Amino acid sequence: METQVGIVGAGPAGLVLSHLLHLAGIDSVVLEQRSRSYVESRIRAGVLEQGSTDLLIETGVGARMLAEGAVHEGVNLQFDGQRHRIDLARLTGRRITVYGQQEVVKDLIAARLAAGGTIVFEADDVTPRGIDGAHPTIAFRHEGSERELSCDVVAGCDGFHGVCRGLIPDGVLTEFAREYPFAWLGVLAQVAPSTDELIYAFHARGFALHSLRSPEISRLYLQVDPADDIANWPDDRIWEELQLRLASPGWALDEGSIVEKAITAMRSYVCEPMQHGHLYLAGDAAHIVPPTGAKGMNLAIADVTVLARALSDWFGGGDHGGLDAYSERCLRRVWRVQDFSNTMTELMHVLPRGDPFASRVQLARQRYVATSAAMQHTIAENYVGLPLA
Ligand SMILES: Cc1cc2nc3c(=O)[nH]c(=O)nc-3n(C[C@H](O)[C@H](O)[C@H](O)COP(=O)(O)OP(=O)(O)OC[C@H]3O[C@@H](n4cnc5c(N)ncnc54)[C@H](O)[C@@H]3O)c2cc1C
């Protein structure tokens, strides 16, 4: 097999990249270790920045999102029962769209296959080789046969646990990481959302988030201990805790049957640089943000927008400048988003006991958010997302 860009991973990063390259007349092959049905039903992110939705619409894969996604003009932050609405549209002129990541993935897979693109699902032992030379290859196993893909460039879009980041040699790669002392218990519930806009709630018992998926499905989260086990959380306990933490005068939370629940650790991670030789990392392969800022999928889309343009300049006219500057350009946005995600996380979660100073600073910050138009503007600007490069 031969192609111009060998893409490892069919998540948002790999699929958007393959789609953008196709529109620029550049050939790519996507190698994905999981099955199509698995990646199309993997429940994860659900909040799209305006820059991400604009890109999907402009490139012809936004029709279903426009029909089924919900555009939100505001977001609620709640501190001990008092709700404060941040008016995103008034403050920034921009909006967010609630549309499940798995739906974005389905739309992109359908578009790539309709355009004759190649996505190899259930590709095992994917192993890129020769990224330092002019002719990289990617070895893999498919349906029992050993295969090899020759390419000019490898795009590592294989998520946090993928193989591509490990190809950047020690001494070149620098890692920055932060583990948070809490995790999120995420729930998908068959019940109409009790709110039109997301509610981020700080409560003495811990953070809670009421998010949405569709008119019939709610997405809810609780701050829990990272060592906690989902077996400790029968559905009744989850609803009881959500009722307590999200409670607000004159508002009621409707309950329904829980169809999925899982605990996810929260961490921040960045690797620098995001490129080496003919390997370019994008999305979670290069960085992770805690989900409080709703940024992971958007950051993946932002990376590959930069990469697709740089590859187009190179394949189209031999200009390598964009590729040389790829990592530096992406990292500026990555660190801005790390700062925002970290700020939101520390603002909204109950901090571990034993640091009264940090708790007082947190309270002062929450009061500032509740009362300062300037602070609300800052949150709004970051939440809707900076324009794509
Ligand atoms: C609970 C939760 C809630 C979240 N909420 C939000 C949110 O509200 N908003 C937001 O923007 N982000 C959110 N995120 C983050 C977001 O889901 C990720 O940032 C996003 O999936 C990154 O896309 P990606 O394409 O870089 O990586 P991934 O989606 O992880 O895709 C990587 C792909 O590579 C494949 N792969 C891995 N290893 C290999 C290999 N060796 N060979 C071949 N294929 C491989 C994987 O199977 C996968 O399909 C959330 C994440 C979680 C877990």
Query: Is-contact 300 347, C-beta < 8 A?
Result: no
Residue 169, preceding bond cis, omega within 30 degrees? no
Report CA(360)–ligand 1 centroid distance (Å).
35
Report CA(286)–ligand 1 centroid distance (Å).
11
296 lines ligand 1 (CB under 6 A): yes
In this prediction, residue 389 carries a pLDDT of: 66
Tens-digit pLDDT profile for residues 332-367? 999 999 999 999 999 999 988 778 899 999 999 999
Among 39, 72, 158, 281, say which to mutate for ligand 1: greatest number of ligand atoms within 8 Å of CB. 158
Report CA(110)–ligand 1 centroid distance (Å).
18
Give the closest residue (by CA) to ligand 1 atom 53. 44
In this prediction, residue 178 carries a pLDDT of: 95
Residue type, 186: G
Among 48, 101, 119, 138, say which to mutate for ligand 1: greatest number of ligand atoms within 8 Å of CB. 101
Burial label for 25, CB within 10 Å (0-12, 13-18, 19+), is exposed
- 119 forms beta bridges with 30
Of ligand 1's atoms, which has the minimum distance to the CA of residue 126? 42
Report CA(11)–ligand 1 centroid distance (Å).
6
Distance CA 1, CA 350 (A): 52
* Residues tagged active-site: 72, 200, 291, 295, 383
In this prediction, residue 388 carries a pLDDT of: 79
In this prediction, residue 355 carries a pLDDT of: 84
Distance CA 154, CA 135 (A): 10
126 lines ligand 1 (CB under 6 A): yes
Residue type, 54: D
Tens-digit pLDDT profile for residues 116-171? 999 999 999 999 999 999 899 999 999 999 999 999 999 999 999 999 999 999 99
101 lines ligand 1 (CB under 6 A): yes
The low-confidence residues of the chain, meaning pLDDT below 70, are: 389
CA distances from 4 to 21, 114, 278 (A): 10, 20, 11
Closest CA to 338 of 389, 253, 267: 267
